Chain A
């Protein structure tokens, strides 16, 4: 089978869409890592929760995408805030591993609760059938464009919040140096709570995007956890821009490799890419070198 340039271009476009979708959970992982110093393993399940919230709002509003986004955001933010209050805040000051194991437990509980309360049937968004867009040999699924645009808007808003608002500045200060931020009078607990809610908002949008593109089920979100981890690690844990760029790079790399390694191995490829990046730069592409403890 000979592939011509337009096949690669189409694969790259698919990869871009896939990467933008993965950028959201990767961003959620890295935001929490910035303030709490552990990779949050419950992110996948918060994404599932966001999917269910978005689906419920979508159905209740008769198919409004905006309502679905608000529903997803509400569910995701409520989930992470509750998780912070009940499970993570009591562990402040403990080692990262305690937080990490707790996040695994939180993820299990959440997944189990969704399975028991909402059922295991796979549900889909009711969407009008859309014809693929064509420009010459290039083909694009309008759904991919919608999901990609949604991810870009969400990422842009998060960056604007972190960069240009005082709330964002306090959050960045906490992520940079907790003790120093405390010394200058920043309420670290409040800033951490906001960061958790922000990561929940991102999870909610990710849930809507994932639900639109694939399906809604209690297990669907858990499948994005490892790709999101890989993207966040490649970009350097704790670096929001790195997570987004890492996800896009891995997405494109995965799709471009499909003709060579096959459909199932492309998932493994992002781990291999992650390992290679870590061999070359143990702190990730855009991560900072951490001082010796």
Chain B
């Protein structure tokens, strides 16, 4: 039971990081990023390749896991900043699928569809006990706090007022002589690095990476966490991520009621739960459970 709770806690913290990054991009700057899982995948694969394939120390994977998505977000931003919202959503969705196609194709680097196994645990002591995972959870908690604090500092700063102005009225900002395009690109890059960090932690915790872990549905789970918690609210990101895990794990309880349900049926049920929750939240509670009303 402790192992199960710890596993949920760690997964939830990974989602907290992702939700914080997405909230920075959409909640504060208004960028509709539907390819968020692509940055997450880049971070996870950077760590997996550095440690499991090249035998480098873990910190190199974390470093690359943030640097690679940071810089790959730049060209995306250059294109995206010229586009209308609906085009941006499609372009970013396409980006995450291209990332996945590259991962599947570049077999020498990524081992293709089979993925990379044997990503070492970050902390190992006491044999097979929970000590290592507990320490990982503590470090992850620290990372979440640090990222939340940083995002908070940025958002409260003059820079933060500027990016929120992009969200609220880009034309007015242009009239003031600011260049929204530059700031949008920076926000995409920073948010990408946060997703990469989450990816590195995820790879080290799960111990393997495959392209199937980075399907677009992950992006929409993060969107759902953000919407449930409240768009543009940092506390909401934390609450939303834990609520998402509750919903996902809760759908597992169906199996206890109906034993013998095959795994594909379970994944359909989980998909339906996410879909219904997304529809209902957007219709009846678009501001999230705790967010300020804004639509």
Chain A residues with CB under 8 A of B79: 275, 278-279
Of A97, A102, A113, A274, which contacts B85 at CB under 8 A?
A97
SS class of chain B's interface: helix, strand, loop or mixed? Answer: helix
Closest Cβ of chain B: how far from A29's Cβ, in Å?
10
Interface residues on A, range: 35 or more
- 9 residue pairs from A and B, CB less than 8 Å apart: A91-B282, A96-B85, A101-B227, A102-B282, A106-B275, A112-B268, A116-B265, A267-B97, A278-B83
Chain A residues with CB under 8 A of B264: 115, 120
Per CB-CB distance, the 3 closest pairs between chain A and chain B, nearest first, are A108-B275, A105-B278, A112-B272
A181 within 8 A of B: no
Closest Cβ of chain B: how far from A254's Cβ, in Å?
13
A160 within 8 A of B: no
Determine, out of A165-173, A185-193, A226-234, the stretch whose residues face the partner at the interface: A226-234
Closest Cβ of chain A: how far from B264's Cβ, in Å?
5
Instruction: Report which B residues bind A (CB closer than 8 A).
Output: 32, 79, 82-87, 89-91, 93-95, 97-98, 101-102, 104-105, 171, 217, 220, 223, 227, 264-265, 267-269, 271-272, 274-279, 282-283, 286, 295
Q: Do B98 and A278 have beta carbons less than 8 Å apart?
A: no
Complex Cα gap A94–B267 (Å):
31
Instruction: Report which A residues bind B (CB closer than 8 A).
Output: 33, 37-39, 87, 90-91, 94-98, 100-102, 104-113, 115-116, 120, 226, 229-230, 233, 237, 262, 264-265, 267-268, 271-272, 274-275, 278-279, 282-283, 290, 292-293
Closest Cβ of chain A: how far from B81's Cβ, in Å?
10
Q: Do A105 and B94 have beta carbons less than 8 Å apart?
A: no
Complex Cα gap A105–B283 (Å):
11
Of B82, B94, B278, which contacts A230 at CB under 8 A?
B94
Known A101-B223, A109-B272; 15 more pairs at CB < 8 Å:
A39-B89, A98-B295, A101-B220, A101-B227, A104-B275, A105-B279, A108-B217, A108-B278, A115-B267, A229-B90, A267-B97, A272-B98, A282-B83, A283-B84, A293-B171
Chain B residues with CB under 8 A of A226: 93-94, 97
Chain A residues with CB under 8 A of B101: 264-265, 267-268
Complex Cα gap A197–B237 (Å):
38
Chain B residues with CB under 8 A of A237: 86-87
Q: Do A108 and B87 form a contact, CB below 8 Å, given A229-B93, A265-B105?
A: no
